[in-house]
Structure 1
Amino acid sequence: MRIVVGIGNPGEEYARTRHNVGYDVVDILAARHGASCAKHKFHALVGECEIDGQTTLLLKPVTYVNESGLAVREAVDWFKMTVDQVMVVCDDVNLPLGKLRIRPKGSSGGHKGLKSLEAHLGTSDFARLRIGIGASASPDLVNHVLSRFGKDEQPVMDEAKALAADAVELWMQKGLDACMSKFNVSPEAPKSDKKEDQ
């Protein structure tokens, strides 16, 4: 069994905001695998599905981002699981828009949802998939993460979220190393038609 956690804030006012990309990826996985995150349990919206033959719990904590760890701790304890069976999906303001970064462990990088998970789980040794939401143009980081993507940004993020769902599926199928090898790459720069001087 595995748990996929999408970090975000509950409520329509937060839907489709930068801080909720984790929620969005979990929703994509639910749609792909015939699940619905409609059940309230573990201080979260929960769905269950099969991915690559493995029972997968899709978890969207409703504790707001800053207390996300409470829901994950409850689910891990209930199913008597270990943290290596957990993948956390969240936004990252320090990554370029649409860039994915997958790590087996690490620091919170200032993300309060990850800080909460570390506090409640007692470790930072859990897999996390970060999705770049772009840097803030102003010092007001809160307004930035709670804003929605612009018209030009949305196609980039739609593709990134779909790729993030692909990455979670590959983690289920072939493990974290294969997942990191495939998705921790920067998009190739467009090749110039201009020939270099000899």
Structure 2
Amino acid sequence: MIKAVIGLGNPGKQYEKTRHNIGFMVADAVVSHLKCSKKYIEKSFSHIYECHDHDVIVAKPQTYMNNSGIAVKNLIEDYKLSPDEILVIYDDLDLPLGTVKLRKKGSSGGHRGLQSIIQELKTESFPRLRIGIGRPERKEQVVEYVLSSFDKKEQLLVEKIIQHGAQCVLNVLKYGIDKSMNFCNQKIV
């Protein structure tokens, strides 16, 4: 049973609408759907929204992407959770824009935020929702690409992706991961 939904991203206005922050965007949509507390609390190096009616918290780590594991480890300790009770939402360069994949566990796939979590928790066994953002043409453009905003042509699709990601999380909370795989694992067009 998932007790914490954790969207990954970077804090600060300058990163708000970037590709790397799609985890934050989906987390915000979940907060809105669940009608969680309007005010967040600052705990475990995260912004935390308590969703009392659903016995879940939604967290947005404030440690910057590459140190997400510090916040997630503190969150697990502070709320007395196990790794299989969290659901991490993050951007994935290896999936095309519009592709969403729910997994029970796995490697970091080179994602530094996920690698930080794996390193701090000392396990790859925690659920995650991968949100495809696509890859730039040249490898040396990756940092610039993930820290750039979606362009105007992508905006409508991105909104659909965020809403699908949020609905996927709601399905996981209601039905569990196994029963949510078919719904979640889609290409959004």
Question: So what's the TM-score if we normalise by structure 1?
Answer: 0.89
Alignment root-mean-square deviation, CA = 1.5
Aligned residues: 186
Aligned-residue sequence identity (percent) comes to 38
Residues of 1 paired with 2:187 and 2:121: CA distance? Answer: 31
Matched, 1:76 2:51: no
Provide the residue aligned with 1:149 in structure 2: 150
Higher helix share: 2
Question: Structure 1 residues 12-21 or 175-184, which shifts more?
Answer: 175-184
2:43 is aligned with what amino acid? K
Residues of 1 paired with 2:60 and 2:110: CA distance? Answer: 20
Provide the residue aligned with 1:9 in structure 2: 10
Residues of 1 paired with 2:132 and 2:79: CA distance? Answer: 31
| Residue 37 of structure 1: how far off its partner (Å) | 5.7
Provide the residue aligned with 2:176 in structure 1: 175
Given candidates 34, 37, 48, the residue that maps to 1:46 is: 48
Provide the residue aligned with 1:108 in structure 2: 108
Provide the residue aligned with 1:138 in structure 2: 138
CA contact (8 A) 1:37 1:60 kept: no
CA contact (8 A) 1:38 1:45 kept: yes
2:169 is aligned with what amino acid? V
Which of 1 and 2 has greater Rg?
1
Provide the residue aligned with 1:33 in structure 2: 34
Q: What SS does the aligned partner of 1:152 have?
A: helix
Q: What SS does the aligned partner of 2:80 have?
A: coil
Provide the residue aligned with 1:92 in structure 2: 92
Residues of 2 paired with 1:123 and 1:96: CA distance? Answer: 27
CA contact (8 A) 1:30 1:37 kept: no
Residues of 1 paired with 2:11 and 2:65: CA distance? Answer: 9
Q: Which segments of structure 1 move beyond 6 Å, counting only runs of 4 or more?
A: none
| Residue 88 of structure 1: how far off its partner (Å) | 0.2
Provide the residue aligned with 1:55 in structure 2: 55
Residues of 2 paired with 1:99 and 1:169: CA distance? Answer: 18
CA contact (8 A) 2:100 2:129 kept: yes
CA-to-aligned-CA distance 1:60-97 (integer Å, 9 cap, x gap) = 00000001011111111112211111000000011111
Structure 1, unaligned runs of 5 or more: 189-198
Change (3 A) 1:157 1:187: closer
Residues of 1 paired with 2:188 and 2:24: CA distance? Answer: 24
| Residue 128 of structure 1: how far off its partner (Å) | 0.5
CA contact (8 A) 2:40 2:50 kept: no
Question: So what's the TM-score if we normalise by structure 2?
Answer: 0.94
Structure 2, unaligned runs of 5 or more: none
Q: What SS does the aligned partner of 2:150 have?
A: coil
